[in-house]
Amino acid sequence: MKKSKFASLFLASSLLVGMLAGCGAGEEGSGSKGGDEIKIGVNLELSGPVASYGSSQNDGFNLAVEEINAAGGIDGKQIKLVTVDNKSDAAESTSAAIKLTSQDKVAAIIGPATSGNSVAQVQIANDSKTPMITPSGTSPTVTVADNGSVNEYAFRTSFIDPFQGTVAANFAANELKVKTAAVYADNASDYAKGLAASFIKDFEAAGGKIVQQESYVAKDTDFRSTLTRIKGANPEFIFIPGYYEEVGLIVKQARELGITVPLMGADGWDSPTIVDLAGAEALNNTFVINHYSAEDPDGKAKEFADKFNDKYGKAPNSFNALGYDTVYLLKDAIERAGSTDGTKIKDALKATDNLDLVTGLYSVDENHHPVKSATILEFVDGKQVFNTKVNP
Amino acid sequence: MEWIQQLINGISLGSIYALIALGYTMVYGIIKLINFAHGDVFMVGSFIGFYSITVFGLGFFPALIISMVACALFGVIIERIAYKRLRNATRIAALITAIGVSLLIEYGVIYIRGAQPEAYPNIFSNKTFSILGAQISIQSVLILSVSVVLMILLQFIVHKTKTGKAMRAVSHDVEAAKLMGINVDNTISATFAIGSALAGAAGVIFGVYYTKIDPLMGVIPGLKAFVAAVLGGIGIIPGAMVGGLVLGVVETIVSALGFSLWRDAAAFIILILILIFRPSGIFGKNTREKV
């Protein structure tokens, strides 16, 4: 309680300082909004523990901005990115947002990459009426506050965590056409529990039956007894939301026990280590959900992969794609708003409907949660191969 | 069918607990010290096996033997440096030292190589065969046989060799053993060496069977093995084997009944019940406690 009071006092005073500073530079500030360029703030993790996420997205941002500017900008105005490194730290993220909104007077902020750092920016965005879009903040709390009210100025490009459960349920019921499923979830993580709950709800709604529901705790190493129990219930499909460290062992032990049915997980599986842990052979016939695949044959996705490869000399990952899409999402909103006024951009973002992006068709629901396509990848001999795209 | 499978799961898990528990029980039997660093010797053994296989390209058996030898030396060094000078100190001082040694090993390994987990290479084929409807992998057969062979070997050392006789004598009465001309220091070192070698073997077996190893992997198996040792009667060698197997099977049954989240709790509930109702363990004789 004390802490939050202190924090809000700190924020209020820094905002005030920012506003005063803004007054002095009033001439310049209005120039950025009315002139021939649009300033967009970038608040990213460019150093620190999750710097790989931030720098991947920064590559995506730069590619998109380069393209848009080469094609004449937004309504004839060039985009100018103002980049601040938040050092993968929530407090730094807050001060970066204060700098961008009060000093640089940006029209909108893109970033940060992680949910925690995005939440640290939300209050500033709301107070200064500056729309923000996080490319990959997947926690629902970025756009919906704890008390259930929507953070008006916060948006995201990626789907939210529980949505992946829905995708898995649709994939199992419609593509794999299975009737029974088991769920084996990490009981220590909200992420896994959220995915399991939405999977169960939607799988049952699609006419499927959950025959067994089991839990494990992160750091376990022996899953054989529970897997034997699951095997006894004879499910046609097993959904395992969790992180790769345990999932790798679960997949290996499941196959050893003679469980041959398809296994499926979400983006928590996305690490090369999973192949070392489970072994390439055991991973066959397993599926994962991700935001994007460089092998997606869809025209737009392929075009992006080629352009990215030309500029950076490597295949793009999902963070690159989400970063790239974030810029186009914002461009679309600014064009429709016909202005760089924060409130108008916010309203336009809210009205985004079936926008065609690299990571799929994109719409926004009333909680600012995207309704969009998800990519399903299949492990084939240890490599993730594009399987299909599931539209909402 | 499912139950046969579960029994096999339980025995495999239990034999790893048993191998670690043997080290606890031997050390306790001889110097009345609960060597909390034992779980970390197990971890070090696992890493030595891992590097022998991946860096030097050795097979399972050479890696197992290298790991056992290295852990035996490691155990003796720990004893000489940390515990020897505390032999006449209070039991609590030695116990706290053991916890300190445990933390030193854990974080020493993290300092040297980082905390990230490592995946054991697949050195056996994943082939399984079924008996009575239960799937048994070649790995688990091998692991069980290695554990059984090591336990038989241990029984042989303790009961048929001079060192074993000396160990039993020291554990019975240190002063009397000294008067009979037994070199107590060397006997204690031998006990540490044998116990640590078994932990090293358990480490390699654990790696092969469970794939994932990391610097803090010894904590929970170490505690479980301690429970197993107490369950069988601490200080009694056959007790540790039986205690380990019983604990493994009980944990498996708890999960098999659908209470997988209660599995760890079950182990410690057993510890509490044993301490209340039969503190000397399954194989223990009720002796007068010196207070």
Which structural domains are found in chain B, ordered by start?
A: 2-277 (1.10.3470)
- Pick from B17, B210, B254 the residue to mutate for testing the A interface (most A CBs within 10 Å): B210
Among candidates B128, B258, B264 on the partner chain, residue whose Cβ is nearest the Cβ of A256: B128
Query: Distance between CA atoms of B248 and B254, rounded to whole angstroms?
Result: 10
DSSP annotation string for A69-135: HHTT-BTTBEEEEEEEE-TT-HHHHHHHHHIIIIIS--SEEE--SSHHHHHHHHHHHHHHT--EEES
Q: How far is B114 from chain A (nearest CA, A)?
A: 14
Q: Average pLDDT over chain A, rounded to whole? A: 86
What per-residue confidence (pLDDT) applies to A135? 93
Residue A388 lies in a domain: no
Query: Distance between CA atoms of B190 and B206, rounded to whole angstroms?
Result: 24
Query: A220 and A252 share a domain?
Result: yes
pLDDT in tens, A316-357: 888 899 999 999 999 999 999 998 899 999 999 999 998 999
Kindly determine whether residue A256 and residue B258, on different chains, have CB atoms separated by under 8 Å.
no
Query: A22 and A128 share a domain?
Result: yes
First to last CA, chain A: 40
Residue A389 lies in a domain: no
Query: A10 and A152 share a domain?
Result: yes
Kindly determine whether residue B137 and residue A256, on different chains, have CB atoms separated by under 8 Å.
yes
Query: A155 and A166 share a domain?
Result: no
Q: Please tell me if residue B137 touches chain A, with a CB cutoff of 8 Å.
A: yes
What are the angstrom distances between the C-alpha of A206 and each of A171, A179, A192, A209?
A: 11, 9, 21, 9
Is residue A34 over pLDDT 60? no
Q: Please tell me if residue A216 touches chain B, with a CB cutoff of 8 Å.
A: yes
Query: A35 and A125 share a domain?
Result: yes
- What is the number of CB-based contacts under 8 A between chain A and chain B? 76
Is residue B290 over pLDDT 60? no
Is residue A20 over pLDDT 60? no
Average pLDDT over residues A69-82: 92
Which of the four pLDDT bands, split at 50, 70 and 90, describes residue A99?
A: very high
- Domain end marker among A290, A315, A349: A290
Residue A386 lies in a domain: no
pLDDT in tens, B173-194: 888 999 999 999 999 999 999 9
Residue of B nearest to A278 (CA): B211
Residue of A nearest to B119 (CA): A277
What per-residue confidence (pLDDT) applies to A254? 92
Average pLDDT over residues B147-152: 90
Residue A109 lies in a domain: yes
Q: How many domains does chain A have?
A: 2
Query: A249 and A266 share a domain?
Result: yes
- Contact list in B for residue A219 (CB cut-off 8 A) is 220
The DSSP output letter for A129 is T
Q: Which residues pair with A186 in a beta bridge?
A: A216
What per-residue confidence (pLDDT) applies to A128? 93
Q: How far is A219 from chain B (nearest CA, A)?
A: 9
Residue B289: left (phi > 0), alpha (psi -120 to 50), or beta? beta
Query: A151 and A209 share a domain?
Result: no
Residue A187 lies in a domain: yes
Residue A241 lies in a domain: yes
Which residues span the domain enclosing A320? 2-159+300-372
Q: Please tell me if residue A211 touches chain B, with a CB cutoff of 8 Å.
A: no
The CATH number linked to A105 is: 3.40.50.2300
Which of the four pLDDT bands, split at 50, 70 and 90, describes residue B206?
A: very high
Which of the four pLDDT bands, split at 50, 70 and 90, describes residue B126?
A: low
| Percent of chain A residues past pLDDT 70, beyond the cut | 91
Query: A150 and A166 share a domain?
Result: no
CB of B248 closer than 8 Å to CB of B17 = yes
Query: A263 and A338 share a domain?
Result: no
Contacts with B, A 129-188, CB within 8 Å = 187
Is residue A32 over pLDDT 80? no
pLDDT in tens, A285-320: 999 998 888 888 888 888 999 999 999 998 888 889
ipTM at complex level: 0.80
Residue A384 lies in a domain: no
- Domain end marker among A290, A319, A344: A290
Query: A150 and A174 share a domain?
Result: no
Average pLDDT over residues B220-234: 91
pLDDT in tens, A223-282: 988 999 999 899 999 999 988 888 999 999 999 888 999 999 988 887 778 888 888 888
What per-residue confidence (pLDDT) applies to A273? 80
Which of the four pLDDT bands, split at 50, 70 and 90, describes residue B31?
A: confident
Is residue A31 over pLDDT 70? no
pLDDT in tens, B55-108: 998 989 999 999 999 999 999 999 999 999 888 888 899 999 999 999 999 999
- Domain end marker among A232, A262, A290: A290
Q: Please tell me if residue B183 touches chain A, with a CB cutoff of 8 Å.
A: no
Closest CA to B80 of B234, B193, B245, B164: B193
What per-residue confidence (pLDDT) applies to A8? 56
Q: How far is B9 from chain A (nearest CA, A)?
A: 6
Query: A51 and A35 share a domain?
Result: yes
Query: A285 and A368 share a domain?
Result: no
Which of the four pLDDT bands, split at 50, 70 and 90, describes residue A184?
A: very high
Q: Please tell me if residue A224 touches chain B, with a CB cutoff of 8 Å.
A: yes
Is residue A360 over pLDDT 80? yes
Residue A224 lies in a domain: yes
